[in-house]
Amino acid sequence: MGLPIKFNKLMGLIGAILLLGATPAAARYNEAPMLRTKVAAGKLPPVEERLPEEPRVIEPLEEIGRYGGTLNTADLSPFNAIEGRTLRHHGLFRYSGDCTEIIPDIAKDYEVSEDKKTLTIYLRKGLKWSDGVPFTVDDILFWWEDYMLNKELSPIVKKFWKPGGGLAKFEKVDNYILQIHFAVPYPVVTLLGHSWNSAQTKLYDPKHYLKKYHIKYNPEANELAKKAGYTRWWELFKAVRNPGYDLWNLDLDLPTLDAYVIKKVASTYQIWERNPYFWQVDTAGNQLPYIDRIVDRLYENQEILNMKVTAGEIDIVSFNLLLGDYPLFKENEKKGNYHAFMWKSAIGAAVAFAPNQNHPDPLLRKIMQDVRFRQALSLAINREEINEVVCFGLATPRQATVLPTCSYYKEEWAKAYATYDPQRAHELLDKMGLKWDKGRKYRLRPDGKPLNILIEYYAGEGPKTAICELVKEYWEEIGIKITLKPEDRSYYAKRKDAGVLDIGLWHLDCVTELYGYGQPLSGRLLSFDGGWGWAKQWELWFNTEGKDGEEPPEEMKEFYKDMEDWASARTKEEYTRLAQKIFDFHAKQLIYIGTVGMSPWPAVVKNNLKNVPTQGYWSWDSNFWIAFEPAQFFFTP
């Protein structure tokens, strides 16, 4: 099996990127009534002046939509408000719903040089921010030069931007053409521009708005920050820019390129209204989005959210639903006037555990670094039982690894130490010298203290609590005392980033071919963090080129070098060889310990909401709703 078609295109093996649609033949564009009214009142320029020369054209899934309406959705945490965010957000590029295609979105096109050292990005001429100011290459250069390369805003530039040891060079060809040059062949960088979540992969910022908060452009920036309650200019800059997860702490005036702009933030809801300068149209020349506004409500727990769903008060929701509640949603379809269905899930593990190999406690560090300990933990997990009890038998018991759809996949990776064998787990712990206490209830550390493990975790995004409760039983059966501690996502992230977790816990996404390859040195399986913080000192050592952190063992250095080389692979053979070497290492080392994966994911959509697909991958890899062109969603009367 060869590389996916789009990968071959990326690697320069065939053709250019497939673009969706072309500028509609209509010389005149249409717009929403609420915008037409503003144009008539002189508050907005005509729609033809608001759209770029070549808007992105969306062919509706079912039919041309109608304007109007308010879309109601829901989230459970201000630090994980992905439902509302992905209904409105866009990047330079995006992935298709099946995670096999790279599709230009904000950008018009891209090109990779023959030697794979230069990426050229073509922007849409005339595209504007939501306040009407033109979006140009200068906004990308501002992000790179004044954010990424500013030591106070970005103390460390991640290795992603330094392949072969040389820092990437950004070159402005003109206002709408950017070239990024690398020291070595680097085809993987093309995959970066679809990212929407990370401060280091957004790739652009509204320079005209943010520069007043930057000391380079405003000598009074520190005074401005102090008036706003901050100590230094960069603190206020970051707060205003806010690319992170705190989506209930927003600057309402920050311009955006997204389909909707923020209008109101309250403690339990947000209101987003259509962006009058949004750069997409349908095939009939109607400016998108069709729907006027989005209301994203924040509910305090899963039970209240489920009640609102079954009562028909939410128009669309998926990210915050659990598979275990799917029968409830199906039973109430008629009552709530909605339809419930299930996506395919690009999740390699619903829950994966990563023992902290850089633990601050020297004794725990030594235990966590012993592969026999990780093997024992894995062998003690009854994955078949987890599948039946938590996932109705619809998931796949497996180790934490990439999906079988990857061209380089080996079945042995999913089976590595994934058979339920508590007796063998006991033997491995015995060989480590982890003796029992007098009552033979718990094992002891080398210092004679009970081996207590605290598992901190964020309970959202899947059945983490249900799986953790079962795993706690399995691991206590082999003598390891487990304490479970669910936490707010922001607090968990701080603990993870500080490198102080005993065992990190997250779900394993970033495992489709395009996304996994597109995140070298930073994705879930391809970093020393990945959401688990399992080796923060080693990560710091690599990112600072040995100036800080802790020098890792030679096998970890080789692992990191293999990932760097994989990102620069130029042939199918080299790409496959390095991929298999990397994931062979994962299977041998058990950096991550999986449970079950590839279980379907429930969704609920009101019956009068149209152009919403019901097939495709639902995961971080496809960027949730983003992959399904939510600007085309509309309500029927």
For 266-301, give the secondary structure using H, E and C: CCCEEEEEECCCCCEEECCCEECCCCCEEEEEECCC
**327 residue type, one letter:** P
pLDDT classification of 523: cutoffs 50, 70, 90: low
pLDDT at residue 518 in the model: 60
Task: Say if residue 339's pLDDT is above 90.
Answer: yes
Q: Indicate the average pLDDT of the chain.
A: 89
Which of 248-252, 462-466, 471-475, 516-520 is the least confident region? 516-520
pLDDT at residue 156 in the model: 84
Name the residue with higher pLDDT: 602 or 532.
602
Task: Say if residue 624's pLDDT is above 60.
Answer: yes
pLDDT at residue 489 in the model: 84
pLDDT at residue 513 in the model: 82
Task: Say if residue 56's pLDDT is above 80.
Answer: yes
pLDDT at residue 361 in the model: 97
Name the residue with higher pLDDT: 566 or 273.
273
| CA 509 – CA 350 distance, rounded (Å) | 9
**545 residue type, one letter:** E
pLDDT at residue 221 in the model: 96
Strands (E) across 225-348 are located at 260-265, 269-274, 280-282, 293-298, 316-317, 338-343
Average pLDDT over residues 166-175: 95
| Whether domain 349-597 has CATH 3.10.105.10 | yes
Q: What share of the chain is helix, strand, coil (3-state, %, to 5)?
A: 35, 20, 50
pLDDT at residue 503 in the model: 96
Residues in the chain: 637
Look up residue 233 and give its DSSP letter.
Answer: H
pLDDT classification of 103: cutoffs 50, 70, 90: confident
Average pLDDT over residues 427-447: 95
pLDDT classification of 472: cutoffs 50, 70, 90: very high
Q: Which residue has the tokens 């521009």?
A: 193
Which of 100-109, 428-437, 533-542 is the least confident region? 100-109
pLDDT at residue 7 in the model: 44
Nearest to 105 by CA among 316, 288, 292: 288
Name the residue with higher pLDDT: 244 or 375.
375
Highest mean pLDDT among 33-37, 155-159, 460-464, 518-522: 33-37
List, for residues 343-363, the tens digit of each pLDDT value.
Answer: 988 889 999 999 999 999 999
Which of 137-151, 200-214, 521-535 is the least confident region? 521-535
Nearest to 472 by CA among 361, 351, 323: 351
Give the up-direction half-sphere exposure of residue 595: CA atoms within 13 A in the CB hemisphere.
Answer: 29
| CA 478 – CA 476 distance, rounded (Å) | 5
- In angstroms, the first-to-last Cα distance of the chain is 48
**402 residue type, one letter:** V
Which of 83-87, 435-439, 591-595, 633-637 is the least confident region? 83-87
pLDDT at residue 338 in the model: 98
Task: Say if residue 12's pLDDT is above 60.
Answer: no
Average pLDDT over residues 196-222: 84
Task: Say if residue 5's pLDDT is above 50.
Answer: no
pLDDT at residue 586 in the model: 92
pLDDT at residue 25 in the model: 45
Average pLDDT over residues 456-471: 92
Task: Say if residue 2's pLDDT is above 70.
Answer: no
What percentage of the chain has pLDDT greater than the value 90?
69
Task: Say if residue 519's pLDDT is above 70.
Answer: no
Average pLDDT over residues 434-451: 95
pLDDT at residue 621 in the model: 76
Which of 24-28, 34-38, 555-559 is the least confident region? 24-28
Contacts with 353 (C-beta within 8 Å, 6 or more apart), sequence order: 377, 455, 471, 503, 504, 505, 532, 592, 593
Average pLDDT over residues 503-531: 75
**Pair 117, 184: CB distance under 8 Å:** yes
pLDDT at residue 242 in the model: 79
Which of 6-10, 141-145, 474-478, 550-554 is the least confident region? 6-10
What percentage of the chain has pLDDT greater than the value 70?
91
List, for residues 270-325, the tens digit of each pLDDT value.
Answer: 999 999 999 999 999 999 999 999 999 999 899 999 999 999 999 999 988 999 89
Q: What angle do CA 149, 257, 231 make, to 5 degrees?
A: 45
Strands (E) across 48-126 are located at 56-58, 70-75, 93-95, 102-104, 107-112, 118-123
Task: Say if residue 553's pLDDT is above 60.
Answer: yes
Task: Say if residue 77's pLDDT is above 70.
Answer: yes
pLDDT at residue 250 in the model: 84
**Pair 567, 186: CB distance under 8 Å:** yes
Task: Say if residue 626's pLDDT is above 90.
Answer: no
Which of 343-347, 450-454, 502-506, 579-583 is the least confident region? 343-347
The neighbour count for residue 261, using CB atoms within 10 Å, is: 22
Task: Say if residue 541's pLDDT is above 70.
Answer: yes
The neighbour count for residue 174, using CB atoms within 10 Å, is: 10
